[in-house]
Amino acid sequence: MSRHGTARGSAANRRSPVAVESNEAFEAFYRKQGVVAEELWDDFIQTLRTPMPVVVRINRTKPHWEELHNSFAEDLRWSQLPWFPGAWQCDAKDYDDALRSQCSALNKSYALRFQEAASLVPPLLLEVKPADLLLDLCAAPGSKTLECIELMRENGHKSSQDGETGVVIANDADAERCFELLPLITRKARYPGCAVVLGNGAKYPAQFRGQDDQLLYDKVLCDVPCSGDGTLRRRPHCWKSWSVDFPLTLHQKQLLILCRGLHLLRPGGRLVYSTCSMNPIENEAVVTAALARFGGDVRLAPSDLPKELRVAKCLQTWWVPDPQDSGCFYKSWTEVPTSQRKPSGILVESMFSSGELDPRGCFRLNPHEIDGSGFFVAIFTKTAHRSFPVQIPSSRLMPEIPWRARNENNRYTVVSTDNSDVQSIVKFYGLRDLPEPLVAEYNIKGKLTQLNLVNSALLQLLQSHLNCKGSPLLVSLGIPLFKVLDDNFMTNIDVPRWRPAMEGAQILAQKMEKRVLRISLEQMRKLLMKRLLPMQSLLTLGTGNELKGLESCEEKLGGAVVGTMDGTFWVPCIITGSGLELYASLEEVGDPLPKLLPPLRPPVISATEEVMVLDKPSGLRTEDALRFVQQKHPGAELVSRLDKETSGCLLIPLTALSAKEFTQQFAENKVQKCYVAVVHGHPPEKGHITEALRLVQLGGGTKYRAFVDDTGKAASTRYERIWGKPGGPSVLLAYPETGRTHQIRCHMAHLGHPLIGDTKYGGHVTFWCDRLPLHCLSLVARDLSGQILKCFAPIPEEFLAALVAVCDGELQGEQWQQLFREKGQVIPKP
């Protein structure tokens, strides 16, 4: 069985729906459009009702990314998306709190990004090259922009071209969303050729480098605003609000943005149009209308898709709903009543199908096939460009940057290297070769506040002539390198007013010969938490091995950068009379080297050619443990199970013959087991529970609960209390003589002593135990030759910590292990 995300069977088959969401109009609309074949309808609709898997994209431009990649490969909860390098997928139900907090920490430090599978596709199909001019017309909140930048860098490394020579313009029409995008671009991507721009994509200006020399983009991404019904799995509340009308209001806007993107594309360039909507009026209709508008100058680009990526053909015909008459649909513009064919009406001619679409350049990503959101993608290329004649001055480039910023004071100017501020920075920080070109940023009060690094290609683009009255607004430009210090700081001291900026610290650390400090990883973590290293500690650390480079701060006071010894993480700081103060916090920048949880992979306790016994960790499903075994032994099968939250010995036969043998041994209760359990209260010292159990399926899904019921199956559990005080809790050894589902849990609950935290059976959660305290300590069976097979799984760390807490430290971890080694062995039956 493959571990690849798309190869584990359909999403709907693997999961049960969590909520029965529905909308009759939605189902009627999409059935009529024929978006999926009738026989796949149930799979499609069921998938839309199941939670999305979590998908992460490892940032392969970061140091240590391979370590992270390997840790995902080791962990059975993650499967790799075979069509996207570095993307991993985890089932929603395996994504527990521990995994969530680990991934959030990794996301914060930009070791990975969360991005659903289908959304990875549009940037991938842009085929970005390191030196491309790329325009992302609808960029916020920025996942795809970031992905494009990473791909540019990666492709740059592959072709050993400098990966930083391209340009990425991230435009969005929504100011708030632009500001959401900002930290991603400046803090995470840190790409000198990137500008964030606020403007209407449909009116993005034409730019000219000279007479009849229009600046055109190599790549354009139009990930347009859409009704978003492909993301119902992520936003189940939208089932209720879905209507046929809303998408109709978006069609023209989408078409205008696409047409603008196509106009700005260079001949031979590539444009990707995408939506997370499944509606043909927002998808195929927009594409056909744009093709018609450009005559033969643009066409769909047949593309080689990764072979493992499952895509569905685009529609060639579709129905347009009448917004005034529910249930009424039109196939062609001529069918629309004349009264509705007004220029101001909702229905427009471009919504109707006209002409064939090349399915090799235009396709759908169906939720049930990609196990993600529904998406639509079309790839265009251009064969000819028609420009409008414009009168522009004869000089090729403008001396200044004609783009507006947020107001007239807030502007950007090109900075020359002999500028006196720049000279003082070079001297103070010992800058070997000053990164350039630099632009100065003036804030909205007109005060010079920042020096930003851009690259030459971006500067040229910004100095070209804009063919419009007011330009879109520049929200950010390049990478901030230096920031001005507060006016009232160190007024009488002869140090420059400039300190390194957070965004540029990494670049500066490679170029500065002075004022570069390195500290150990542990000290860096402490510093990020406290943000201040008092002067005395700074001086003390500076004399030892934990801090290096203090001698490079001749003047002592003033800006500096501080990083980890391996040089992979840098932040700006300032040395003042009180010590070293950091301009960053752990909250903002994340951990320099987030700790990885040990991968969830079961250790093997014993293995022969016929049978393997694993020490299954809590949190791993038995089915996933089986997959691990099947990687080497494809014939392995399950004959017994442990609940996901239960840890310990799990026996898996490796061949059909041994499966038959062990099935029989389990059925005849010949496999002896001993479990450790922590229960509420103080049960009698020894007991034997023989109540029959009946298993009931919950909510039509794969969840079960056992009940004591005379009509159920015979069940027998012996137990012995090995630690406990009146009032509880108590630690037991339990010996199930039968193998019913949830047997120990249900039997103990029936006795009035449910397991701690076992809320399904009436247990209560405690702060000292965050897993089900049930562990299969030992197991005895007979192998195929009749020899005794005896296995023992020591108590896992987190369970041990809970036991120490239960007894208030009366027994320490090793003492508990020793107790179990002595008492927890099962004596084989003769």
Ligand X SMILES: C[S@@+](CC[C@H](N)C(=O)[O-])C[C@H]1O[C@@H](n2cnc3c(N)ncnc32)[C@H](O)[C@@H]1O
CB closer to ligand X, 140 vs 196: 140
The C-alpha atoms of residue 473 and residue 491 are separated, in whole angstroms, by 35
Which among 195-203, 315-323, 690-698, 790-798 is the span making contact with ligand X, rule CB under 6 A?
195-203
Rounded least distance, CB 224 to ligand X, Å? 6
Q: Would you say 174 or 213 has its CB closer to ligand X?
A: 174
Report in angstroms how near the CB of residue 166 gets to ligand X at its nearest. 18
Q: Is 104 annotated as a binding residue?
A: no
Q: How far apart are the first and last CA of the chain?
A: 39
Answer yes or no: is 549 a known binding residue.
no
Check binding of 201 to ligand X (CB under 6 A): yes
Report the Cα 785 to chain-centroid distance in Å: 50
Does 150 engage in binding with ligand X (CB under 6 A)?
Answer: no
Question: Taking contact as CB under 6 A, which single stretch among the options 5-13, 43-51, 200-208, 332-340 is the one that binds ligand X?
Answer: 200-208
Task: Take residue 309 and report the two structure tokens written for it.
Answer: 């990526």
CA distance 423 to 438: 13
Binder among 169, 185, 202, 362 for ligand X (CB under 6 A): 202
Give the residue numbers marked as catalytic.
276
The reply, when asked if residue 245 is annotated as ligand binding, is no
Whether residue 141 is annotated as binding a ligand: the answer is yes
- The distance between the two most distant Cα atoms of the chain, rounded to a whole number of Å, is 102
Instruction: Sort 577 into a burial class: Cβ within 10 Å, 0-12 / 13-18 / 19+.
Output: exposed
Task: Please identify, using beta-carbon distances, which residue of 175 and 529 lies nearer to ligand X.
Answer: 175
Rounded CA-CA distance 627/641 in Å is 14
What crossing angle do the helices spanning 813-823 and 797-806 adopt, rounded to 10°?
100
Residues numbered 206-225 forming contacts with ligand X, rule: CB under 6 A: 223, 225
Q: What is the dihedral of CA 342, 343, 345, 349, to 10 degrees?
A: 90
Check whether 769 is labelled as a binding-site residue.
no
Q: How many residues bind ligand X (CB under 6 A)?
A: 19
The correct pick among 47, 89, 143, 618 for binding ligand X (CB under 6 A) is 143
Q: By CB under 6 A, which span of 141-149, 495-503, 788-796, 815-823 interacts with ligand X?
A: 141-149
At residue 711, the 3 state secondary structure works out as: coil
d(CA 126, CA 217): 12
Considering beta carbons, is residue 201 or 729 the nearer one to ligand X? 201
Alpha carbon distances (Å) from 249 to 220, 227, 285, 314, 344: 24, 9, 13, 21, 11
d(C-alpha 136, C-alpha 148), whole Å: 9
Pick between residue 143 and residue 463 the one whose CB is nearest to ligand X: 143
Residue 436 CA: distances (Å) to CA of 156, 397, 440: 20, 18, 12
Point out which span in 194-202, 385-393, 455-463, 489-497 binds ligand X (CB under 6 A).
194-202
Please state the closest distance from residue 320 (CB atom) to ligand X, in A: 22
Is 172 labelled as part of a ligand binding site?
A: yes
Interacting residue with ligand X among 142, 472, 480, 729 (CB under 6 A):
142
CB 256, min distance to ligand X, A: 8
Query: What's the rounded Cα separation, in Å, for the pair 437 and 416?
Result: 8
DSSP for residue 392? -
For ligand X, the binding residues in 152-191 under the rule CB under 6 A are 171-174, 177
Got the DSSP string for 742-775? THHHHHHHHTT-PBTT-GGGT---BTTB-S--EE
CA nearest to 163, candidates 187, 192, 139, 134? 192
Q: What is the Cα–Cα distance from 222 to 144, expressed in whole angstroms? A: 11
Measured in whole angstroms, the distance separating CA 612 from the mean position of its chain's CA atoms is 35
Q: What are phi and psi of 48, to 5 degrees?
A: -60, -20
Among 113, 144, 497, 673, binds ligand X (CB under 6 A): 144
Stretch that binds ligand X, among 152-160, 197-205, 637-645, 733-741 (CB under 6 A): 197-205
- In one letter, which amino acid is 824? G
- Residue among 476 and 646 whose Cβ is closer to ligand X: 476
Contact 375, 125 (CB under 8 A): no
**Could you say which of 12, 106, 140, 291 contacts ligand X (CB under 6 A)?**
140
Distance CA(183)–CA(351), nearest Å, equals 38
- Two tokens at 803? 């036991």
CA distance 297 to 312: 26
Minimum Å distance from CB 235 to ligand X?
Answer: 13
Half-sphere exposure for 796 (CA within 13 Å, toward CB):
26
Question: Regarding beta strands 774-782 and 647-653, do their DSSP bridges make them parallel or antiparallel, or are they unpaired?
Answer: parallel
Distance separating alpha carbons of residues 361 and 95, to the nearest angstrom: 35
Q: Evaluate whether 542 touches 582 at the Cβ level (below 8 Å).
A: no
With respect to ligand X, which residue has the nearer C-beta, 69 or 177?
177
Which member of 17, 85, 141, 430 binds ligand X (CB under 6 A)? 141
Q: Determine if residue 174 is labeled as part of a ligand binding site.
A: no
Q: What angle do CA 273, 279, 283 make, to 5 degrees?
A: 25
- CA dist 517 and 573 (Å) reads 10
Distance CA 166, CA 156 (A): 10
H or E element in which residue 114 lies: strand 112-114
Stretch that binds ligand X, among 131-139, 319-327, 443-451, 813-821 (CB under 6 A): 131-139
Binding to ligand X, residues 229-258 (CB under 6 A): 257
Q: Which is nearer to ligand X, 118 or 731 (CB)?
A: 118
For ligand X, the closer of residues 254 and 463 by Cβ is: 254
Mark out the alpha helices in 631-675 (DSSP H runs). Answer: 656-667
Q: Considering only 140-148, 554-562, 656-664, 800-808, which stretch makes contact with ligand X by CB under 6 A? A: 140-148
Strand partners, 668: none
Annotated binding-site residue? 101: no
Residue 430 is a binding residue for ligand X (CB under 6 A): no
Q: Judged by CB under 6 A, which stretch of 47-55, 133-141, 540-548, 812-820 contacts ligand X?
A: 133-141
Confirm whether residue 140 is marked as ligand binding: yes
Q: How many residues does the chain have?
A: 830
- Reading the block at residue 48, the tokens are 């839309």
Q: Determine the number of helices (DSSP H) and then strands (DSSP E) in the chain.
A: 23, 41
Please select the residue that binds ligand X; options are 11, 54, 111, 138, rule is CB under 6 A. 138
Q: How far apart are CA 39 and CA 49, in angstroms?
A: 18
Binding site residue list: 138-144, 172, 223
Binding site residue list for S-adenosyl-L-methionine: 138-144, 172, 223
By CB under 6 A, name the binding residues for ligand X: 137-144, 171-174, 177, 200-202, 223, 225, 257
